[in-house]
Amino acid sequence: MKRTALQRKLNIIIFGHDTPSGKTFDLVLIWLIVISVLLVMLETVSWIEQEWGEWLIMIEWGFTVVFTLEYLVRIYVTERRWAYIRSFYGIVDLLSILPTYLGLFFTDARYLLIVRVLRVLRVFRVLKLVQYMSEANILVRSMKMSRRKIFVFFSTVLVLSTIFGSLMYIVEGPEHGFTSIPKSIYWTIVTITTVGYGDITPHTVMGQFIASAAMLTGYSIIAVPTGILTAELASEMQKERTQIVCPNCHHAGHESDAFHCKHCGSDLGRRS
């Protein structure tokens, strides 16, 4: 497929982020997304809905038209159409315009509500900007590096919650709000994560004793994810800092006390 000059030009503006016009486009878009998400939220506040309801619907249609145009232009200018349409952001882009159109067919208040609220998913599009920041990259890389430790950690938390939850179900019983094991597990998670709503609380001495044990457990295992991520982040940040590149094989990531490239062995020219 031969691409026209217009397509190429628009492609740089819409998908690029390095040119001034590309940056302006990104900035305008992100503000439109944030405002449209705020509007969806305000629509659910009853007194705003009653007083400004018609205006909000009109503005919503405005946004939908703009986002629809943007979606169509994106498809028009991109080189690999299906790749875009099936990508994460392609689907989010479609999901952010679909609900308004669906609202024309579903008029049952309950379904309409869900459809309308789904527009809040647009907020995911803001994340697009995040990927261009190296800070986010370090965070994401650290989390990826420690994902297996985190998995082991969460398995332990879930097993602990199951045991504590079942214990509390037996000790406290339905008369104190622990009506079933799943509900007791909900209570255990509320307790172990130190959220502590207080909608269900232990009333027996034994229950309060077990609850205290669960809290202290939660209080100490809160240390585990922090420890994992901190250790990983510290080593990632150190690597970032020591971006010494080998003059021979261009291998980067040497430590600050290295004289020789650890990959090809040639001198880094750093001997003082």
- Per CB under 8 A, does 30 bind its own copies? no
Considering the complex, state which of residue 55 and residue 151 has its C-beta at the smaller distance from its own copies: 151
- Per CB under 8 A, does 27 bind its own copies? no
Residue list 157-216, contact with its own copies (CB under 8 A): 157, 159, 162-163, 166-167, 169-170, 173-174, 179-183, 185-186, 189-199, 201, 205, 208-209, 211-212, 215-216
- Per CB under 8 A, does 266 bind its own copies? yes
- Per CB under 8 A, does 35 bind its own copies? no
Please choose, out of 51-59, 73-81, 91-99, 250-258, the segment that lies near its own copies by the rule CB under 8 A: 250-258
Interaction pattern, residues 108-137, with its own copies; x per rule: CB under 8 A: --xx-xx--xx-xx-xx-xx--xxxx-xx-
Q: Determine the Cα–Cα distance for residues 162 and 245; give it in Å rounded to an integer.
A: 51
Structure tokens at 146: 């420690």
Residue list 219-238, contact with its own copies (CB under 8 A): 219-220, 222-235, 237-238
Considering the complex, state which of residue 15 and residue 153 has its C-beta at the smaller distance from its own copies: 153
Q: What is the length of the chain?
A: 272
- Per CB under 8 A, does 248 bind its own copies? no
Please choose, out of 15-23, 56-64, 81-89, 262-270, the segment that lies near its own copies by the rule CB under 8 A: 262-270
Interaction pattern, residues 48-87, with its own copies; x per rule: CB under 8 A: ----------------------------------------
Q: Determine the Cα–Cα distance for residues 171 and 177; give it in Å rounded to an integer.
A: 12
